[in-house]
Structure 1
Amino acid sequence: MRNLPMLGLTHGTRSAVTCHLKCDDACSRPAPNSSCEPTFQSIASSALSRRAMLAGSGVVAAAAALPLVRAQEAEAASLKPGLSFSPITSVAADQDAFTVPKGFRWDPIIRWGDPLFRNSPAFDPSKPSAKAQALQFGYNNDYLDIIETNGRGTEALLVCNHEYTNRAIMFPPTETAEAEAEVLRTLKAAHGFAVVELERRRRGDVWSYVQGAPLNRRITADTPFRFTGPAAGSDLLKTQDDEHGALALGTFGNCSGGTTPWGTVLSGEENFNGYFKADPAARGSKRYGLTNAASTYGWEKIDPRFDATAAGYANEPHRFGWIVEIDPTDPRSTPVKHTAMGRMKHEGANIRVDGDGTVVAYMGDDEKFDYLYKFVAKNKFRKGDSKAARKHNKQLLDEGDLYVAKFTGEAQDDNANLGSGQWIPLTKNGASVVDGFTLEEVLVFTREAADAVKATPMDRCEDVQPDPKTGKLYVVCTNNDARGTTGKPATDAANPRAVNKNGHIIEITERRGRADATKFTWDLFMVCGDEGQAGTYFGGWDGPVAPISCPDNIAFDSAGNLWIATDGQPSSIDRNDALFRVPLHGRERGHLVQFLAVPVEAETCGPVVHDQDGSVFVAVQHPGEDGSWATQNSYFPDYVKAGAKPGKGDWRGPRPAVVQVTRK
């Protein structure tokens, strides 16, 4: 029986197993940020009530003049171009089904264990093999992109990460220590990244993956990564296996990410602390959630570097928590970890390029009361696909200035933004600007540096993305049930709800519209929850909306709509996680509708919207999370007909997968 510290403490559909495997039971312990500055409470009590009053009265509700019709009937008023569909309603949390709108179909493109190379063994979870898994699609994909590679739209690259694993439902119990060690090695090989070539006959068709394609690649927890930036070679990154502090092995705990304008993929190393046994007295250990208990995954039993209390490995945890960059078009390239962008529990990074070539990356630190960051590259983006331009652009994230956000809550008139803020520099022109910190210390212990400049503690900044049409920044705050509790930071205008179980989304406008601005204004775009729940707010929309909780990953479509994937659905009625669409502009701003729902105990991840192609893609993570090898809770995506029994030797259980939804 697993030790699950969060058992009985979760809310709604969030599983204690997910908390244990994905987050190292972070919510069962005090938040690592114990240095929170008193927050700007002066207008906190009025922020939500003001918004609720304005929405209810129609002062800011652009849709208040529309008839109060159900979402399905209002669908015809949606922005065009875009994907037209009849919204679905919530699906109860005990339903093991992938639910899509009427007239649509869903198809798995690739699943955990599918063979990627010509020499890949067939999927057989009854016989765990690290060698086999390294040649197969990994587990629990989170960030996802489908990058078309020809003009006809018949070839593409699928790129995704593999965040974490669930030993209990993946493999059978073992009888010997040697057999269990092979299970651990196999779980390790199931982490990392996958790059997979796709093909189809024509636009609008369902994609198929190509086994043995030249660009197919697996990156695991043992793949070499090169450090770039000012901390590369630092004593803080050196171990007995890497005396130069230049080359780390592997990546894991990767969450969201982004595809760059120069064709590479970024991803954030998030909950890396759960993979290590470490000295709690070492600098940074407490602030990054490291303890001297046995790790969640037990890799220290098969690889000494995961025991950071052992001689020569004290710095091994410092080699994780970075933004990583891979080139999916070159399977022989060495992926990199960018030290200039700081070390934290990165949710991901997304790029904006201004007209003058200024490159900015936005990042969230996904922990209660941690911070929002941005990185401004030193050098400018070069247009074009030449070899020289691409080489230059692939080095843009090696140098630049790192900032952290501080929000203020100066309430203005009803038609203006709710607040203002500034980006506080942590590094500038290749030097630290934080008193008492060297440049290398700022980058390796970024959380401590942000504490020192008194940044605003947030309610778990997850995906942070600029609108490709307007440049406005959307900051997804998933939740924070410790907000306003005894001894914790109180509510403030940017984090307005105490015991925030439902989350919210902040809309930021950089000063003069420039990505490298150091000042900004902001507003609350969405305060999530069920329709009619106290304090909920949907961009000014005054009609019915779909219920939503715990926003996580976001994406944009060609019409400028925002698509929101959820992670956990605390509400009055438990329901499966889902994908929603909401307009950001015009008469329908804030009109949230639901597009799909994922199966029992699963999370919706990595949405990709190719609306002009008629397709939406999602990564379905941890379906059937609470099951066991003997008693599986989900059969996604390989459902059998009702009443059918598996044949002899035929294993049936959940397989995390990438799914394409398109018209029938």
Structure 2
Amino acid sequence: MPAPTDQGRHLLPLFPNHPVGRAAVTCRYRCGNACAHEAPNTSDNSYFGDVVGEVVRRRGLLKAGAVLAVAGASGVGLAGTAAAAPGKPDLGGADFDLGGGRRRDGLNFTPVAPNTEDRVVTPEGYDQSVVIRWGDPVLPGAPKFDFDRQSAAAQARQFGFNNDFCGLVPLDGRDRWLMVSNHEYTTEEFMFRGYDAANPTREQAEIAWAAHGMSVVLVERDRRSGKLQPKLDRRYNRRVTLTSEFRVTGPAAGSDLLKTSADRTGTRVLGTMNNCAGGVTPWGTVLSGEENFNQYFANGSTVTDPAQQKRIARYGMSSGATTRKWERFDKRFDIAQEPNEPHRFGWVVEIDPHDPDAPPVKHTALGRFKHEGANVIIAQDGRAVAYMGDDERFDYLYKFVSDEKYKPGNSKHAREHNKKLLDKGTLYVARLTGDSPVAEIDGSGKLPSDGEFDGAGEWIRLAAGNRSFVPGFTAEEVYVFTRLAADAVSPTKMDRPEDVEPNPRNRRIYAALTNNTDRGKTGKEGPTEPNPRPGNKHGHVLEIEERRGDNTALSFSWKLLLVCGDPNTADTYFGGYDKTQVSPISCPDNVAFDSRGNLWISTDGNALGSNDGLFAVPVEGKYRGRVKQFLTVPRGAETCGPVVDDEFVLVSVQHPGEVDGANADNPVSHWPDGGTSQPRPSVVAVWKKDRGRVCG
């Protein structure tokens, strides 16, 4: 569908009659059909804004405090929400005009129109290439990928399936990085012809175990062509799979709750699974979140102990057989035989790409839940602060503050010290309170009388070291059963908090709340100011400003930067910006930042009927809230793991062609290789053809 233009600007069409949302086959293999089941959070903690009467009277104080906090953090006032005149194209103001059509925010590309094409679509003037595909060699000696002759041994040396998070760690100079990719999950129907879901083979299961996990690949950028190219490096390249050994660290390491027949110490775990988002730490390691681990463990209904039944239910464990039937081939996936094995997943994992001989670790101090990821900023006092989201309907936002301080530099001593920062500290969960009368949050999407969805919040202590702050829970129980411990202190139920990241330029925290179609259903919590829509199918983006810009603070102000969806509808909001000048966006998932501090958002499950994409939006000044779509991914795919460099952008194209009714015997996508080839999840690089700044 061609996009009409107005004075050279694309007016972005919608696809109201196209099937919307994520495919059922993706839900089945990604998260075990989580949304087809009751949300695991059945706690009766009420939204705090409904029971605190004085919040309206505190409105003026909250807003004044927010302005002071921003001024202290970044030297500027609270970001404005000035908008262009309705119905007129925004040509930019003199204070941001750098001449030649350029603006200080650097987002000068022409936005890509929504589409359903089977390719990566980028703005005019940009080029692209595939960096690496599922099955491409990672380790020297790995065989060339052959879709019809796969083996577990080959896959353990090749790039895994369904790559999600992607991070770059610089290596000894310019244009060389260690690229770390998560391999979130396998979709066996798209991996094997004639796959029988009721009777998978052991070989298919073992191939899938090898296709999970992580890849570390040396990549180099050719400055003449602009391409990023993988290298079969013998020193650094690495595959981590479901049979790789991990160390367990932190206060719950060695707990009886983590011991199994294969590991009597509770300190060694085989593998990592459902690794979703993550982050590169200031000390050059990579954090990865184990998300929908619950779906891999069978026979939860065999448990008879009431306490364990409650734990299994809160984490959404399978009552009977699993989708992949791995319990047939390894007893650790059978709760009846190994009741503690599920407790060894759901952690934040840390891997050091510079040290391929060091086993990756699982950090128990950061709690156990469906981690989307974890992202770290160094606070003003030098401590490391990690932000995290539990990707489930009606679940929570968390942060961790280290006891020890970060040591700058790349010396061996500094690196070893910093790699232990996430083992000692305090774990918190968030409670948000709106500053508007409850009656003004009516679910229509109408802004309250103060013009914004906003308010205050606090971080509630859960545990620190061997000390629990939750009555009735030991510290070990807080770490291993974090969801249940958090329920007991009444945090705010959110709409699937996924990626949560601090902006290094302004120190604010941005959280992608992907969606929650259960909000407002009978027996479920209704609209709240932090989650203002019932049946929320498009999601929103939350912005947190901690007191005085101090990331260790226990209080904060918050506001919704975006309420996503069709800008032509009344229930959307774009930071106060003119909605006729924005790209439609639905289901925000991962976030990242460019060097100017602009927010970049990738989407998962676009409920507007077009392909998922990558979007950019300024968070400061008169362009705050102006969403522009930078690219779209192929049919059936999700946009993941964005890396936004001045000279290129990387995106992980996950599950291309994953459309209901399709499979390996009937593919509907042939990306990236074309012809009659099978679709293959891949990492893609995008850059400007003139080799200029990506957004400059």
Structure 2 Cα separation of the partners of residues 255 and 556 of structure 1: 18
Query: What SS does the aligned partner of 1:187 have?
Result: helix
Distance 1:179 1:39, change over 3 A: closer
Partner of 2:128: 106
| C-alpha contact 2:84 2:90 (8 A) present in aligned 1 | no
1:623 aligns with one of 656, 668, 686: 656
Partner of 2:29: 21
Structure 1 residues 458-467 or 116-125, which shifts more?
116-125
| C-alpha contact 2:250 2:424 (8 A) present in aligned 1 | yes
2:336 aligns with one of 309, 312, 316: 309
| C-alpha contact 2:365 2:427 (8 A) present in aligned 1 | yes
| TM-score normalised over the length of structure 2 | 0.86
Which AA in structure 2 matches 1:595?
Answer: F
Partner of 1:87: 111
Partner of 1:326: 351
Post-superposition shift, 1:38? Answer: 2.2
Are residues 1:31 and 2:39 paired? yes
Distance 1:88 1:178, change over 3 A: closer
Post-superposition shift, 1:118? Answer: 2.1
Which AA in structure 1 matches 2:422?
Answer: L
1:300 aligns with one of 308, 327, 340: 327
Query: What SS does the aligned partner of 1:426 have?
Result: strand
Query: What SS does the aligned partner of 2:343 have?
Result: helix
Query: What SS does the aligned partner of 2:313 have?
Result: coil
Structure 1 residues 29-38 or 10-19, which shifts more?
10-19
Partner of 1:649: none
Partner of 1:62: 82
Structure 1 residues 73-82 or 179-188, which shifts more?
73-82
| TM-score normalised over the length of structure 1 | 0.90
Which AA in structure 2 matches 1:387?
Answer: K
1:397 aligns with one of 400, 422, 425: 422
Partner of 2:269: 248
Partner of 1:503: 539
Partner of 1:561: 598
| C-alpha contact 1:549 1:566 (8 A) present in aligned 2 | yes
Structure 2 Cα separation of the partners of residues 136 and 167 of structure 1: 17
Query: What SS does the aligned partner of 2:416 have?
Result: helix
Partner of 2:678: 653
Partner of 1:236: 257
Structure 1 Cα separation of the partners of residues 406 and 237 of structure 2: 28
Mapping of 1:152-551 within 5 angstroms?
153-173=174-194, 180-202=201-223, 205-280=226-301, 281=303, 282-283=308-309, 284-310=311-337, 313-411=338-436, 414=450, 418-428=454-464, 430-542=466-578, 543-551=580-588
Post-superposition shift, 1:415? Answer: 8.1
Query: What SS does the aligned partner of 2:189 have?
Result: helix
Q: Deviations over 1:401-421 (max 9, x none)?
A: 000001111239948982001
Structure 1 residues 207-216 or 109-118, which shifts more?
207-216
Post-superposition shift, 1:133? Answer: 0.3
Post-superposition shift, 1:555? Answer: 0.6
Post-superposition shift, 1:175? Answer: 9.2
Structure 1 Cα separation of the partners of residues 107 and 523 of structure 2: 46
Are residues 1:131 and 2:150 paired? no
Structure 2 Cα separation of the partners of residues 263 and 375 of structure 1: 19
Which AA in structure 1 matches 2:616?
Answer: R
Which AA in structure 1 matches 2:521?
Answer: T
Query: What SS does the aligned partner of 1:378 have?
Result: strand
Q: Deviations over 1:219-246 (max 9, x none)?
A: 0001011000111000000000001101
Post-superposition shift, 1:71? Answer: 9.0
Which AA in structure 1 matches 2:230?
Answer: Y
Query: What SS does the aligned partner of 2:621 have?
Result: coil
| C-alpha contact 1:605 1:620 (8 A) present in aligned 2 | yes
Query: What SS does the aligned partner of 1:196 have?
Result: strand
Which AA in structure 1 matches 2:108?
Answer: S
Post-superposition shift, 1:64? Answer: 3.0
Structure 1 Cα separation of the partners of residues 604 and 23 of structure 2: 10
Are residues 1:147 and 2:169 paired? yes
Which AA in structure 2 matches 1:608?
Answer: V
Distance 1:66 1:38, change over 3 A: closer
Q: Deviations over 1:70-104 (max 9, x none)?
A: 79999976643635321111113xx2121111111
Which AA in structure 2 matches 1:599?
Answer: P
Post-superposition shift, 1:279? Answer: 2.5
Post-superposition shift, 1:201? Answer: 3.5
Post-superposition shift, 1:202? Answer: 2.6
Post-superposition shift, 1:367? Answer: 0.2
2:634 aligns with one of 596, 599, 607: 599
Partner of 1:643: none
Post-superposition shift, 1:42? Answer: 4.7
Partner of 1:6: none
| C-alpha contact 2:499 2:512 (8 A) present in aligned 1 | yes
Structure 2 Cα separation of the partners of residues 29 and 67 of structure 1: 43
Structure 2 Cα separation of the partners of residues 506 and 593 of structure 1: 18
Indicate the RMSD between aligned Cα atoms, in angstroms.
2.6
Which AA in structure 2 matches 1:600?
Answer: R
Structure 2 Cα separation of the partners of residues 551 and 332 of structure 1: 36
Which AA in structure 2 matches 1:616?
Answer: V
Identity of aligned residues (%): 51
| C-alpha contact 1:266 1:324 (8 A) present in aligned 2 | yes
| C-alpha contact 1:36 1:369 (8 A) present in aligned 2 | no
Post-superposition shift, 1:330? Answer: 1.0
Distance 1:174 1:633, change over 3 A: closer
| C-alpha contact 1:197 1:213 (8 A) present in aligned 2 | no
Query: What SS does the aligned partner of 1:505 have?
Result: strand
| C-alpha contact 1:530 1:547 (8 A) present in aligned 2 | yes
Structure 1 Cα separation of the partners of residues 43 and 183 of structure 2: 33
Structure 1 Cα separation of the partners of residues 102 and 455 of structure 2: 29
Which AA in structure 2 matches 1:326?
Answer: I
Q: Deviations over 1:345-372 (max 9, x none)?
A: 0000000102321110000000000000
Distance 1:178 1:474, change over 3 A: closer
Which AA in structure 1 matches 2:261?
Answer: Q
Distance 1:112 1:403, change over 3 A: same
Which AA in structure 1 matches 2:106?
Answer: G
Structure 1 residues 623-632 or 221-230, which shifts more?
623-632
Post-superposition shift, 1:560? Answer: 1.4
Distance 1:421 1:262, change over 3 A: same
Partner of 2:65: none
| C-alpha contact 1:128 1:182 (8 A) present in aligned 2 | no
Which AA in structure 2 matches 1:234?
Answer: S
Query: What SS does the aligned partner of 2:476 have?
Result: helix
Distance 1:477 1:448, change over 3 A: same
Post-superposition shift, 1:117? Answer: 2.0
Query: What SS does the aligned partner of 1:273 have?
Result: helix
Post-superposition shift, 1:170? Answer: 1.1
